[in-house]
Structure 1
Amino acid sequence: MKNLYTLKYALMSVLAISLLYACESNSSYEDEAPSIANIAVSNPNFSTLEAAAVLGNVAVTLSNSNPNDPSGDYTVFAPTNDAFGRLGLNENTLGVLQPAFLTNTLLYHVSNGNLRSDAIMDGVASTSAIGVDRRFVSRDGDLYINGSKILATDIMASNGTVHAIDKVMIATGVDIVQSAIALQSANVFTTPELSYLVEAVVYTNLVGALSASEGSPSFTVFAPSDQAFIDLGAALGLTFNEPADIRQLPVDVVTTVLLNHVVANNGKFTCEMNQGSITPLGGDALTLGAFENGTITVSGAGSGGEVANMLIPDVQTTNGIVHVIDRVLLPNL
């Protein structure tokens, strides 16, 4: 708790990271590096991060040394406004997130110590302030942390380093099923999400298979949103007014459809997947689109060529990576 209490002051330093200021070669900057707080001057490109830090009670100035690391430093991976915008968030809409979830998400972007770009390489792991590891991936000459592209590196400060990234990183700290339940129970967004998916998992008795256990496999899961299931019902001539309505479909059909969304491939972030076919646990091969702008599309063999887009990519759980999508992936039924 001491670590979290201290680190709750860490992200005010990245409220508005000024890359232009960091790159300026004025004499005062060269003579003495400013603290992260001084680098984090008002910059409209980071206004959402500023608002998030306030709303999530991650208030602070990182003008002081980090007492929890011998170096006295912090490393911060700072999402831009566009990074928040991928999730439909800006400084005026952050209230759709639960404060506790927002706080943990912000702290997931912070780590103790001074991790500079020369130590960031493919396959290396970095532990966040909430104790969850993040991994670095190299692709096409770019570096990613989880599925987030590192846009700028080594914005140096007297008490650490800042790197800018293009997507907000999310980690739940629990397994795939519990992560879905957290969304369904409005512990992430203030309104429920993935309620139909949770109902389907319970209906098909797949809770155990997708839950964490000793030595359990790591999955990539394409998780259809509530609206995706509602749209599926309409396409089938059914009305899905509530999650229990999915039980109008035979349990074996729902089982096949659900398993068509799960791939046992050690859990892949978007930047680790390639265009082509992948084989899920059940159903038929899925088709992945090209990796573009930090995301991919995916389609099922029975979806008539319609592709699903990622609404929330790269959610890290304890037994896999979840990508929330806007369409149910149908096999050939």
Structure 2
Amino acid sequence: MTLGSCAKNKDVDPSITNIAVTNPDFQTLEDAAIRGDVAVTLGNKNPNDPQGNYTVFAPTNSAFARLGLNSAQDLTALQLPFLRNTLFYHVFSGTLPGSALTIGSASAGAFRTPAIAATPTTPAVPSVTPTRRIIRRADGSLYVNGSKILSTDVKAANGLIHPIDKVLLATGADVLNSALALQSGSVFVKPELTFLVEAVVYCNLQGALTGTPGSPSLTVFAPTDQAFKNLGTILGVSLNQPADIRKLPVATVTAVLLNHVVLGGAQGGKFTSELPENTTIAAAGGPVIIGAFNNGVLTVKGTSNAAPANMVIPDVQCTNGVVHVIDRVLLP
């Protein structure tokens, strides 16, 4: 990606914002920065860095498209405070060159508070500043969390840009509160994971998803609302609204839910770039089959599933683990 050529004056590097504005690969990022009111910030020197620099992990248009965000209008599907925090999570205050992106290294995003905004029915979720980590796969490809770093060290007048292939997502809250935020419409304007939250409450499993000091890091596969509705069709039970989950025996729902949670161990708190492909891992409710790593995602399959689940929204970083939203309920 030859981004340096975007400067109108070849003797002066453009700012990070100018690069986004003049390069078509960053059109959606530009739209997001304008809507999130961070374009001006990234167009100027960083007042908190002696050199005046920022480093930005910059999602391409294709990265936003993975989330169904293809235009400025599409971005209105996200609540504005969450969009702002998401953008700032891509920003490092200072210079973070490609040479510093080594295996296991970590850096904090310029996260703001509250992490998730309040709604008329739910309070704001306090923010804990999440930390990005650098991962190198066996083929040598470099990732920040679950996002592939496409190139490094694109120079700007006020810092550096590292283009990436997926939007970095972090909630600043634990898995439970992150799910509650989605359920209440505090992340996407349209509520999501409403069936999952109902099922967790029905089975009294809230404590398993709450981050407490010393608790294990979780990898959670979170089925969408449509996934639960489809499950109802398979079981011959009408699951049209979240409360319908209670038509099923609590023991059955509990067994199913536990099949979606990896509690610590070697595979707890893992991004897609870290999960072992083409193998079986142990969830709390039984074995889960992980498929091939392809274009930054993996399929996931429960023992009794006829077909695997796809990752709809992978790599959502929470304070006590990582959530991968999937399109099918995993059956033990």
TM over 0.5, shorter chain: yes
Aligned partners of 2:18, 2:299: CA distance in 1, in Å?
A: 40
1:107-118 matches, within 5 Å, as 107-118=88-99
3-state SS of 1:220 partner:
strand
- How far did 1:266 drift? 3.0
- How far did 1:23 drift? 5.7
Aligned partners of 2:9, 2:230: CA distance in 1, in Å?
A: 59
In the alignment, what sits opposite 2:245?
Answer: 246
Asked if residue 72 in structure 1 is aligned to residue 52 in structure 2, the reply is yes
3-state SS of 1:254 partner:
helix
Which runs of no fewer than 5 residues in structure 2 stay unpaired? 112-128
RMSD over aligned CA atoms reads 1.7
3-state SS of 1:134 partner:
strand
Asked if residue 160 in structure 1 is aligned to residue 162 in structure 2, the reply is no
3-state SS of 1:20 partner:
coil
In the alignment, what sits opposite 2:309?
Answer: 308
Aligned partners of 1:316, 1:61: CA distance in 2, in Å?
A: 25
Letter in 2 for 1:122: I
- How far did 1:204 drift? 0.6
2:280 alignment partner, one of 277, 288, 292: 277
Aligned partners of 1:52, 1:97: CA distance in 2, in Å?
A: 10
- How far did 1:132 drift? 2.0
3-state SS of 1:46 partner:
helix
In the alignment, what sits opposite 1:5?
Answer: none
- How far did 1:85 drift? 0.6
In the alignment, what sits opposite 1:20?
Answer: 2
3-state SS of 1:270 partner:
coil
3-state SS of 2:150 partner:
strand
Bigger drift between 315-324 and 84-93 goes to 84-93
CA change 1:164–1:222 in 2 (3 A) is same
In the alignment, what sits opposite 1:135?
Answer: 133
CA change 1:63–1:184 in 2 (3 A) is closer
3-state SS of 1:238 partner:
coil
Aligned partners of 1:152, 1:227: CA distance in 2, in Å?
A: 36
Aligned partners of 2:280, 2:235: CA distance in 1, in Å?
A: 26
Bigger drift between 60-69 and 294-303 goes to 60-69
1:289 alignment partner, one of 279, 288, 291: 291
In the alignment, what sits opposite 2:42?
Answer: 62
Asked if residue 266 in structure 1 is aligned to residue 268 in structure 2, the reply is yes
Letter in 2 for 1:314: D
Letter in 2 for 1:123: G
The answer to whether the Cα contact below 8 Å between 2:280 and 2:288 also exists between their aligned partners in 1 is yes
TM-score, normalization by structure 1: 0.89
- How far did 1:71 drift? 2.6
1:2-41 matches, within 5 Å, as 19-22=1-4, 29=10, 31-41=11-21
In the alignment, what sits opposite 1:93?
Answer: 74
Asked if residue 103 in structure 1 is aligned to residue 84 in structure 2, the reply is yes
Aligned partners of 1:32, 1:169: CA distance in 2, in Å?
A: 30
Asked if residue 219 in structure 1 is aligned to residue 218 in structure 2, the reply is yes
Letter in 2 for 1:290: A
3-state SS of 2:237 partner:
coil
Letter in 2 for 1:302: S
- How far did 1:268 drift? 0.3
The answer to whether the Cα contact below 8 Å between 2:105 and 2:133 also exists between their aligned partners in 1 is yes
- How far did 1:64 drift? 2.9
Q: Deviations over 1:139-174 (max 9, x none)?
A: 121110000000011001232100100000110011
The answer to whether the Cα contact below 8 Å between 2:29 and 2:59 also exists between their aligned partners in 1 is yes
Aligned partners of 2:215, 2:223: CA distance in 1, in Å?
A: 23
Q: Deviations over 1:163-189 (max 9, x none)?
A: 100000110011101000000000011
CA change 1:212–1:49 in 2 (3 A) is same
CA change 1:127–1:209 in 2 (3 A) is same
The answer to whether the Cα contact below 8 Å between 2:262 and 2:283 also exists between their aligned partners in 1 is yes
In the alignment, what sits opposite 2:229?
Answer: 230
Q: Deviations over 1:200-239 (max 9, x none)?
A: 0001110011101111110100000000000001111111
Aligned partners of 1:277, 1:23: CA distance in 2, in Å?
A: 47
Aligned partners of 2:42, 2:272: CA distance in 1, in Å?
A: 32
Letter in 2 for 1:274: P
Letter in 2 for 1:22: G
In the alignment, what sits opposite 2:32?
Answer: 52
Which runs of no fewer than 5 residues in structure 1 stay unpaired? 1-18
Aligned partners of 2:76, 2:20: CA distance in 1, in Å?
A: 23
CA change 1:127–1:61 in 2 (3 A) is closer
Letter in 2 for 1:71: Q
